[in-house]
Structures are given as C-alpha cells and as structure tokens.
C-alpha cells in the first residue's frame, strides 16, 4: 500500500514536470479568447518585429516598443527593464532564452510567440543567445 502511494506521488511529480516543460512549446497556453483577437495581437507583433528577429516586450499583448534581437548579435544580457520581465515575445528566428540562477535554458524556434509570457519563463529570463 505504501509503495502504491509513493508510486502515485512519483507519477504526479513526473506529470507536473512534463506540464512545465510542455508549457513553453505550446503557445496556446496564453491564447486570447477569440481567433480575431489573436490575429490582431499577432499582427501588431508582426508589425513591430522584422524577419530574422526575436522581439521582447515589457508588457503583455505586444504593447509598446519591443527590444529587438538577432542571432547575429550573439549572446546578450536582457536590458535592465526586461530582466525577469518579458511579458510577451515573438520569435522570427531561433534562439535560446536563459535564466542565470538556477541556470535554465529554453530553446526558441522561429514562429514561437507568447502574448502573456509572465505566466511562464518571462519572469525568469536574463539573457538571450543564438543556441542553447
Ligand atoms: Ca532570472
């Protein structure tokens, strides 16, 4: 009986870790309510983020002026206002988001985006680089 409980706890922990890992690659977690709303937000993001760039916004919904990074600029610490505070992003290039302590890296692919990234790694990000 005790072994069964322990096994169930391990399974629950594994499931939780799996959900955490899956959270990033599934931008649907931060989806707005309607597809029209989603399109408008993404269109605003695209208007402010060029091909080959990853763009970082301090606020949700791609509001305001993004900080734009390209893989060619290499490893960069996030600007101070975006340190642990990227509440939305759009990736038109691949890259790697980095948290220093505890160190954790998240691979980002061209086409990834998050409208409310504060629910995920956006409260931890410290730097960005071309590869993980
Ligand atoms: Ca951090």
- Beta bridge pairs of residue 104: 99
54-77 pLDDT tens trace:
999 999 999 999 999 999 999 999
The Å distance, Cα 68 to ligand 1 centre, comes to 19
How many Å lie between the centroid of ligand 1 and the Cα of residue 3?
A: 38
Q: pLDDT tens digits, residue range 17-68?
A: 444 444 444 444 454 567 887 788 889 999 999 999 999 999 999 999 999 9
With a pLDDT cut of 90, the percent of the chain lying above it is 67
Query: With 90 as the cut, is the pLDDT of residue 105 above it?
Result: yes
Residue 37 has what pLDDT? Answer: 79
Structural domains for the chain: 2-129 (2.60.20.10)
Global pTM reads 0.73
Contact in structure between 128 and 98 (CB atoms under 8 Å): yes
Q: How far is the CA of 8 from the centre of ligand 1 (A)?
A: 32
Selection from 25, 52, 30 nearest residue 42 by Cα: 30
**What's the CA-to-centroid distance between 126 and ligand 1, angstroms?**
5
On the 0-12 / 13-18 / 19+ scale of CB atoms within 10 A, 125 is: buried
């Amino acid at each position: 009986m005790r072994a069964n409980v322990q096994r169930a706890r391990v399974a629950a922990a594994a499931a939780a870790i799996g959900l955490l890992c899956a959270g990033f690659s599934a931008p649907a977690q931060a989806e707005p309510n309607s597809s029209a709303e989603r399109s408008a937000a993404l269109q605003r993001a695209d208007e402010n983020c060029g091909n080959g760039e990853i763009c970082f916004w301090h606020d949700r919904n791609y509001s305001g002026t993004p900080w734009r990074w390209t893989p060619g600029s290499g490893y960069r610490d996030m600007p101070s206002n975006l340190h642990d505070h990227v509440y939305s992003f759009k990736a038109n290039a691949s890259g790697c988001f980095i948290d220093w302590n505890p160190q954790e890296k998240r691979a980002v692919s061209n086409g990834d985006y998050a409208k409310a990234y504060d629910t995920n790694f956006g409260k931890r990000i410290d730097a960005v680089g071309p590869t993980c």
